[in-house]
Structure 1
């Protein structure tokens, strides 16, 4: 057993920058590197890709991220844990193994799966959002339970150097190596709670080092274009020191840590994960030196007997069209164009939305006090068929010669939207599994 380990977070979401993870793997003297790249929206998109091609469904940046990291992982003997497997961790692991072989590296890759519980749904499960049976949301296409540490722990026991998971809870990606290295068990709820808080602080990567903290004037951070991602030195007692690689941009302070601590936390006294019910209320920070903070506190009690499940369903087809107007009476011409489109689409599509970007697209119903010199008109509609969705953009494009003067820069696009609702499932119905490559 080790007394302490170093874990870094190289990505906080699917579209995160690639370079910070490479810097961490190269210079932070890590034992583990985590790439947290999965969210409800992300896995819905992944499921859609898998529906189109059964070999896909993993993160679209998987190959680029792994290829850039492989030399550093091997050179510095770092274990990589990531949920970039998304809807298809087995295909992702096969792809990573092939990338490693092509680069001349003989490493063990593990896929953690078992989160796909689609076959177990009856449709009568009640959603947390609507309080209605999930079958009323629309045709169900996917169901992924939030797994905990179990699959990752087994992969670590089998000495996998790269572990690719599907839908695993974000803090669990970090908690698993702590449990593995320190010998913590599921009975050690207080330690699991501390580890979960540490994982929660790390999981959004650049948010901890000032990215999302950054604001105009009041909360500036240095060199944000070179924002560094965080790593933590964690002890077997559940304390930690957070830092970032010297020379990288950003700021790591008690203020940035406190904002991240409360990010997406509904109840800080009982933060539910598959592994533990964590208590954030006793957490404290201390600034040790510039960009180095200490962490103490936190705790936990036993985990719930249920697991959260994200259920994807076919919601609607979205049709969109955009066009710009500029100069004198730009807003009035955009409004006239919108009126034309609404009349053209009446009875052909449902739930039309009109946005005057630059005027009131964010705060609906509120109009700016100034007369803008340029307006981007956006028309969007929920549609029942792909044909109806395409019609929205086609009508906007027709404004070039059939609408108010001076319109330009048309864009049109349509897509199927996979919605996400959540249900709860008895954890005994979910069976985490691994496959080694």
Structure 2
């Protein structure tokens, strides 16, 4: 069978749209994949849906679809995405509406459901605390399983042009089109492992084309301002060539591919996924031309039989304030400012669940390493606290703002914020407890 061309249209919810448009226009793609979810993203989407039953999908869904649908429909490129987040059905309805408004009445839109397991999570114990999810009470916001390819493949087999998921495994979004196109068996562990490698390499969009990789004077990346998103040319045996649109910014090299290969991998011989345990320990990466890197050698073995569940819960409120100090002795003045805020909150008897301060530009990242060798010319003091209520969090932010006149000399540029904290925990659930399905608009089709 011919090589399948599959591209990455996004690597996170706030990713750039222009490179996806370029890829849709010039990539000669069979599939364009938008991977837009993270652990907190899905919990925040669930929170939005609680406030509005019609909400809960990716905030950039409409902009992305209006930008690419006219192109993908014209080129015959099909789309798979997890931009459905907490509400795939609502997302699918919106995409159908957009397609109709654009005159693309022939497009078939499908929603994949089944990842939401909030109704059966209470008895499961959370890895981080050892306690049952039920102990969270009304603080429990969401519980979503990282589902595999089954329902996505079925939707594609049924002719869907756009498949919208909730919390699918990131590589599964890319693996599903490969299973669909090549007809791979779901116990062909070697090919499933190789397809998972392709998905893992593409899932973070520009990370493999020089974004995040760039380090001026150390790892220079050409034309980073016009960085292109990656695509893979995948053969029937699962081997692939990673590349990008000719003329787009960035680069694809053995180094960029190696960095992405190692990204978020704990044990390269056992990368647990819903459909396979992938083995990347014998992967080979070879530059075969400008911006063309061949990858092969992945393998796999049977999946564990469990799916990871991401559990979101309310964990209080965060009050935060920031203020800048510059010039001679700026570090000491910023440290005094932080100490004043802490002391004033304690003297007022304001209860804080936890608090910290950072001097951004001096010790906010490397404080524990003791790397400070010289005083900077300027720092920004950030004080943040986790509180039980929003009103207490407001008091924290107010205390930082009061430093304008009640703190050390030269403070300025105060910002303040208060927001509810949605924390994330995880557990495992037997795959038999989770049923996925796809809906081609009005028709629902049970598949697993």
Q: Please name the residue that 2:376 is paired with.
A: 372
Correspondence list, 1:49-88, <5 A: 49-88=48-87
* Cα distance in structure 2, aligned partners of 1:364 and 1:53: 41
* Cα distance in structure 1, aligned partners of 2:259 and 2:335: 40
* Cα distance in structure 2, aligned partners of 1:362 and 1:286: 35
Q: Does the 8 A contact of 1:137 with 1:315 survive in 2?
A: no
Q: Please name the residue that 2:11 is paired with.
A: 12
TM-fit CA distance, 1:404? 2.2
Q: Does the 8 A contact of 2:40 with 2:312 survive in 1?
A: no
Q: Over residues 57-103 of structure 1, what are the superposed CA-to-partner deviations in whole Å (9 max), with x where a residue is unaligned?
A: 11111111111001111110110001011111111111111111111
* Cα distance in structure 2, aligned partners of 1:304 and 1:267: 15
Q: Please name the residue that 1:397 is paired with.
A: 401
* DSSP 3-state at the match of 1:47: helix
Q: Please name the residue that 1:178 is paired with.
A: 178
* DSSP 3-state at the match of 1:198: helix
Q: Over residues 127-155 of structure 1, what are the superposed CA-to-partner deviations in whole Å (9 max), with x where a residue is unaligned?
A: 23344434456721110001100111111
Q: Please name the residue that 1:336 is paired with.
A: 336
Q: Please name the residue that 1:127 is paired with.
A: 126
* DSSP 3-state at the match of 2:237: coil
Q: Does the 8 A contact of 1:3 with 1:182 survive in 2?
A: no
* DSSP 3-state at the match of 1:353: strand
* Cα distance in structure 1, aligned partners of 2:37 and 2:257: 22
> Is the counterpart of residue 363 in structure 1 residue 362 in structure 2?
no
Q: Over residues 318-374 of structure 1, what are the superposed CA-to-partner deviations in whole Å (9 max), with x where a residue is unaligned?
A: 000111122232222222222221112113123221111122111225373323332
Q: Does the 8 A contact of 1:359 with 1:367 survive in 2?
A: no
* Cα distance in structure 2, aligned partners of 1:133 and 1:22: 45
> Is the counterpart of residue 426 in structure 1 residue 430 in structure 2?
yes
Q: Please name the residue that 2:446 is paired with.
A: none
Q: Please name the residue that 2:389 is paired with.
A: 385
> Is the counterpart of residue 436 in structure 1 residue 440 in structure 2?
yes
Q: Please name the residue that 2:411 is paired with.
A: 407
* DSSP 3-state at the match of 1:171: helix
Q: Which moved more, 1:184-193 or 1:45-54?
A: 45-54
Q: Which moved more, 1:18-27 or 1:352-361?
A: 352-361
Q: How many residue pairs are counted as aligned between the two chains?
A: 435
Unaligned runs of 5+ in 2: 442-448
* Cα distance in structure 2, aligned partners of 1:134 and 1:48: 17
> Is the counterpart of residue 296 in structure 1 residue 296 in structure 2?
yes
Unaligned runs of 5+ in 1: none
* Cα distance in structure 1, aligned partners of 2:182 and 2:260: 25
Q: Please name the residue that 2:445 is paired with.
A: none
1:353 to 333, 352, 356: 356
Q: Does the 8 A contact of 1:284 with 1:295 survive in 2?
A: yes
* Cα distance in structure 1, aligned partners of 2:80 and 2:39: 19
* DSSP 3-state at the match of 1:294: strand
> Is the counterpart of residue 37 in structure 1 residue 40 in structure 2?
no
Question: TM-score, normalized by length of structure 2?
Answer: 0.94
TM-fit CA distance, 1:160? 1.1
* Cα distance in structure 1, aligned partners of 2:374 and 2:363: 12
Q: Please name the residue that 2:444 is paired with.
A: none
Q: Does the 8 A contact of 2:43 with 2:141 survive in 1?
A: no
TM-fit CA distance, 1:282? 1.8
Q: Does the 8 A contact of 1:320 with 1:413 survive in 2?
A: yes
TM-fit CA distance, 1:279? 0.8
Q: Which moved more, 1:283-292 or 1:124-133?
A: 124-133
* Cα distance in structure 1, aligned partners of 2:82 and 2:365: 32
* DSSP 3-state at the match of 2:171: helix
Correspondence list, 1:200-215, <5 A: 200-215=200-215
TM-fit CA distance, 1:52? 2.3
Q: CA RMSD in A?
A: 1.5
TM-fit CA distance, 1:264? 0.5
Closer, same or farther: CA 367–201 of 1 in aligned 2, 3 Å: closer
